[in-house]
Structure formats: C-alpha cells, structure tokens
Structure 1
Amino acid sequence: MARVVRFHEYGGPEVLRIETADIPAPGPGEVQIRVRALGLNRAEALMRAGTYIESPTLPSGLGLEAAGVVERVGEGVEGVAPGDAVSVIPPVSMVRWPAYGEVITYPANLVVKHPSSLGWEEAAAVWMAYLTAYGALIDIAKLGCGEFVVITAASSSVGIAAIQIANRVGATAIAVTRTSAKRQALIDVGAAHVIAAAEEDLEARLREIVGPGGARVVFDPVGGPIFEPLTVAMSPGGILLEYGGLSSEPTPFPLFTVLGKSLTLRGYLVHEILGDPARLAAAKAFILDGLASGAFRPVIARIFAFDEIVEAHRYLESNAQFGKIVVTI
C-alpha cells in the first residue's frame, strides 16, 4: 500500500485527493521506484481540468516526472537494480504511468540513473524541460553555433532549459518574457538578451538585436498576437516551433511573411522524441552529458510537501514561478 494522488472529477486544484492504493509488483520490463520528489508540469493541470490531449477514465492518477530509489525490478530488466538513484522520463501516457505517488511503476526504458551531483529535487526537474527543448532546438531545428534563437515564455522550466541548451551549442539566446520582473534572473541563467513583451515593442527590439539577417529559430508555447512580430523578425528559411497555446487570444497566420520568407511553422510535442528509440537515446546522451559537465542545471522555483499537492497546483497556475515547481515525499 502507498499514498497516491488522484482526482474523481475535473476541476481546479481542489479536486486532487491523496488516497491509499495497492501497488502491484512490477511486471516484465518494469521498474518500481520509491519516490523522493515529483516535478510538476502544466500538462498535469490541464488533464486535471479536463482540457488535456489525453482524456482519462475517472478516477485517475496523474504526473509525468519523478526521482527516487529503485525498490524492485521486473523480469528482463537490465541496467538498474534495487538501491539505484533514478529519475523518470515522461511517458506518452500519464494515465497509464502516473508519477504522483509514494511508489510508482515505470517502463525500464524510461528510467535513468542520473548524475550523482543532482539532488532529488533537481533530478525530478530534468526530463520534461530538457527533452522538450532538445527535441525542438537540436533534433529538429539543428540549432548551431553563432545563430540566434528566440525563446518565449522564457522563465518556464522549458524556457530555461532552452537557454542553457542554446549556450551549450554556441547559439545566442533571446529570452522573451511578459514583464521585466524576471529580467535579471533570465540573464543569470544565460540569456544574452531579454525582451519584456508587455513593456517593449517586441518587433522593434527583435529587429534591433538580430539585425537584417533575422533569427532562424523561434521556440514558442504561447501563440496569440506575438506570432506576427516573431515571424517578421525571422530569417528567410527560418523555422518557428510551436509547442503550446498559452495565449487566450486568436493566433493570426502571417501569410505574406511566411510566403515571402519561405518560413516553416511547425507544431511540436515531446511525444515524437519519446516514441522513437533512436532519437530518445540521442537525447538522453546529450542531456546527461550537459548535466555531468554542469552546463545544464535545473532551476527550482519552489518546493512543496506531498501533503501540499493542492497548494502546489495553485502555485503552478499562478504563473509566478521562475523554473520548476517540485513536490517532495
């Protein structure tokens, strides 16, 4: 028996309940983990509210990231053993593989022995952020040395990971955030330039920074009105990777800018990396190398106790955080 978080109806953070459940032994190819820390993601708030791409049968568990100690392994598992400190790569389905619990069971291919330099909180904050940013910037866009990359929602855990990845490959990170309140924090994590979109003319500032050559890569989870100034500041043949829809306003399609510059506007979800073993292996190697070298370091916004999961979700939806929200057990 172990405590888990579930919800029996869709709604706000208050629908989350901590309950006791039987935890079956791990099956073939599975690893059972005693969890020490959980990383929170917006996808979990969306599923709890009933607006996520995955629709669970209620009651349902949830959660995509965790770190802890291996308790048991199923038949055929190699590479990890009881007692190992591990973190988990987000699964394609958090309904099938929920992470919010004292004990969780995951497929062995999604369990990673992380560098010992990481504490439990940092280890629980790695994989969603860095895999999402890696898949867009490195796997798809092939971002390289000397290039500009525009990163919106830059104070999120994914945005911070994208800044660190850009620096790792020698690119120049332009962080776009709503106000100047987080400007210095973004500079401190490696942004070369910071634009406060609610306080400055986004198009003018981007043009000033990138010059006539433009930015080849834009990484955006927002959409809405900023779509037009972002594309105007892009270089011919550039690529805009859209991985969310945070804006509540309509997203215009800048037809003539796209035509005139032969731009690629591409939808992207981290699931396409998770579903391809070769691409996932390359991502793991890249991220583990960056973690081991110290080039990548997750930023923790705030830590909550497991019993405070409702409060943690309220904070998640406040948009006040800089970096990752973590829950410890």
Structure 2
Amino acid sequence: MSRVVVFDETGTPEVLQIVDEPVGDPGPGEVRIKVEAVGINRLDQMIRAGMSPRPIRLPHARLGIEATGTIDALGSGVAGWATGDAVIVTAVPDMDTNGTYAEHLVLPADRVAARPAGLDAISAAALWVAYSTAYGALVEKAGMQPGDHVLITAASSGVGLAAIQIANQIGAIPLAVTRSAAKERTLLAAGAVAVIVTDRDDVVEATHRHTNGIGADIVLDSVMGPGLAELADAAKRFSGRLITVGWLDPRPAPYPASPITMIRYMSFEHTLDPAAVHRITAFLTAGIRTGALRPVIDTVFTLDDIVAAHRYLEQGHHTGKIVVTV
C-alpha cells in the first residue's frame, strides 16, 4: 500500500487527509517513482481552497505538481532509465487525479528528468517548478539578455528567488520587489542588485531611479491584481516586456495603458514540450553544477504534517520553498 494525500471537498487545510491506496504498476512507457520529497506550491493552495483555474474532480482529489525520488519499477518499452535512478518530476497536468503528495507515483517516462548530481532530495524537490517557471518566462518568452534590468515581484517566493539567480547567471540585473523591509537583507544576499519595498518605496519611481530613468527591460510578475498597471509604468516604454506567471492577488487586473509588450506565461507551455524540457534541464543542471543556482528552502515538514505545511503556506511569511519529506 502507498500513503496518498486526498481531499473530498475544497476548503481550509483541514480538508486534507492521508489514505492508503494500492501501489500501481507502471504501464507501457511509464515509470513508477518512490517519492522522497515534495515541493509545496501556491497552485496547490488555490486548488485545495476551491480557486482552481480549471475544474477538478471531487471527491478523492489529489494535490501536487512537484516531487523527486527514485525509479523503482519500469513499464515495457521504457529506455534510458533504470531502477534506482534519481529523478525529478517535470509535469503533472492531471494533478487532481495523480498529484505528487504520495509515497509512489506512476508517470509517463517523458515526464521525469535526471536529478542533478550533488543535489539532495530536499533541494531537488524545490527545484523544478520555481526554476523552470522563472527560466521559461525570462529566457524562453521574454528573451532576457545580459545587461537587462529585470524587476521581480514577490521576490522572496520560490519563483522570485529562482528569477534572481537565473538573472545573475545570464548577466542581467535583478531588482527585487517585496512588501516587507524585513526581507530586504535576505534578498540582497540572494543576489538582488537592489530591493524595492512596497511598504516604503514607490515602485515606479524606485525602478526608474535604479535604471537611470529608463525603466525595467523586463517585469516578472507573480501577483497580478490592480497593481499590474503600476508595474507596467515601471517598464521601459515601447520595448519593455511585462510577463505574468502567477495570480497571488485574485482581484481584477486592469489592462495596462503603457506602451509595452504583455505576456501571459503558463509553465505547461514548456514542461509538456520534450525539446523545451531538454533545454530547461541542461540550463538548470549547469547552474547547479557551477553553483549559480541553489534552491532556497524555508521549512521542511513530513507528510504526516501536510495540514500544518498548508497552514504555514497560507501565512505567507516564508522565504523560498516549503518542502515535505515522504
């Protein structure tokens, strides 16, 4: 049997429960993974709370899009993998029926990638979603180049910290935005060239000050909501790109009047494309190898404490990723 986190109705973290289910065997082209650790993401919270961007199957819905572990069984026709290989999960589009909050996962073999050498399970569980999202948005979609000023909202989140590191790896100039001055020192230590604190600074004025009056070449936004128009004003006129990767603020987001390019990025655009996954994997593996990229872990829970992990996620005080060991 395998322990799996499920929920029969949407609501508070207390709707999550752990049940025992049979361990499935991999079919043709599939692998079974013995899960070691799971990354917790805002999307998990939204789906559990009833704010899913698409319909989910209830009751007995599952959660989770991020995990790492070792292959413990291979289906027929699988080549290039062996039992015992350490892998990370690259895509779970059907998370409500096959989510990663479980002791075992059965997935198509093309939805896993090799765990980078030297990365332990906890760090590996915090790698893929944040770093593939930041890479896909900044490099693949926005075309980030060395010397670009990149304004990063929700900079203390997993995606925000990944974006800071990736910008530095490329040679761009990351400007971090955060609500609280308490996180300023942490963000500077993480590699931000400057930190803009929304409780203290005017985002547009501060961005123009740090860019010699020009504005940011790229704005990476995980928040949306009414503040989107202000962020657009912080971007370079005409050639600036504002790319949104999340929706932490559920309020309506007015379409900006500023003459910039707007891009809406969904990570499955790349994580379901084998060629893009190859590029992402190569980039992240190189960054881990050189030390340019290193997942930031805030807190580690166990699977038995999944309710407490979601309560902590909802508080919004963490810096980096919340990880659950299995």
Band of TM-score, shorter chain: over 0.9
8 Å CA contact 1:65–1:124 kept in 2: the answer is: yes
Structure 2 gaps, min length 5: none
Q: Structure 1 residue 18 and structure 2 residue 12: aligned?
A: no
Using the alignment, how far apart are the partners of 1:76 and 1:289 within structure 2?
30
Q: 1:233 offset after TM fit, Å?
A: 2.2
Alignment of structure 1 residues 280-291 onto 2, 5 Å:
280-291=277-288
Q: 1:181 aligned to 2:185?
A: no
Which SS does the other structure have where 1:167 is aligned? helix
The AA in structure 2 aligned to 1:239 is R
Shift of 1:116: 2.7
Is 1:301–1:324's contact at 8 Å kept on the other side of the alignment?
yes
- Give, as a single letter, the amino acid of the residue that structure 2 aligns with 1:216: D
Letter in 1 for 2:19: E
Displacement, 1:165? 0.5
How many residues are paired up?
324
Q: State the AA in 2 paired with 1:195.
A: I
- Give the whole-Å Cα distance in 2 for the aligned partners of 1:23 and 1:55: 26
Deviation sequence 1:174-206 (CA, Å, 0-9, x none): 000011111111111111110111221111111
Question: 2:243 — aligned with what?
Answer: 241
What is the CA-CA distance between 1:171 and the residue it aligns to? 0.2
Alignment of 1:195-274 (within 5 A): 195-235=196-236, 236-255=238-257, 257-258=258-259, 263-274=260-271
- Hey, what's the Cα distance between the residues in 2 that align with 1:9 and 1:43? 16
- Percent of aligned positions that are identical: 44
Task: Give the aligned partner of residue 49 of structure 1.
Answer: 49
Question: 1:7 maps to what in 2?
Answer: 7
Q: Give the match's secondary structure for 2:205.
A: helix
**Is the 2:46–2:52 contact (alpha carbons within 8 Å) kept by the matching residues of 1?**
yes
* Whole-angstrom distance in 1 between the partners of 2:226 and 2:8: 36
Q: 2:272 aligns with which of 275, 293, 310?
A: 275
Q: Contact between 1:37 and 1:326, CA under 8 Å: does it hold in 2?
A: yes
CA distance in 2, matches of 1:133, 1:281: 16
Aligned to 1:118: 119
CA distance in 2, matches of 1:248, 1:177: 18
Q: Distance in 1 between matches of 2:276 and 2:116?
A: 21
Match of 2:321 in 1: 324
1:38 match: 38
Shift in Å, 1:122: 0.3
Q: Encode CA deviations 1:14-73: one digit per residue, 9 max, x unaligned.
A: 000000001220011111111111100111111111211232222111111111121101
User: What secondary structure does 1:184 align onto?
Assistant: helix
Q: CA separation in 1, counterparts of 2:11 and 2:61? A: 13
Q: Which amino acid aligns with 2:14?
A: E
User: What's the offset of the Cα at 1:311?
Assistant: 0.2
Structure 2 residue matching 1:154: 3-state secondary structure? coil
Indicate if the aligned counterparts of 1:8 and 1:60 stay in contact, CA closer than 8 A: yes
Partner of residue 292, structure 1: 289
Question: What corresponds to 1:100 in structure 2?
Answer: 101
Q: Where does residue 129 of structure 1 map in the other structure? A: 130
Unmatched runs of 5 consecutive residues or more in structure 1: none
Normalising by structure 1, we get a TM-score of 0.95
CA drift of 1:13 comes to: 0.4
Deviations 1:286-313 (A, max 9, x none): 1111112211100000000110000001
Contact 2:208–2:214 (CA<8 Å) still a contact in 1?
A: no
Equivalent residues of 2:86, 2:114 under 8 A apart = yes
- What is the rounded CA distance, in whole Å, between the counterparts of 1:95 and 1:224 in structure 2? 26
Partner of 1:62: 63
Contact 2:91 2:272 in 1 (8 A): no
- What does residue 301 of structure 2 align with? 304
What is the CA RMSD across the aligned residues, in angstroms?
1.3
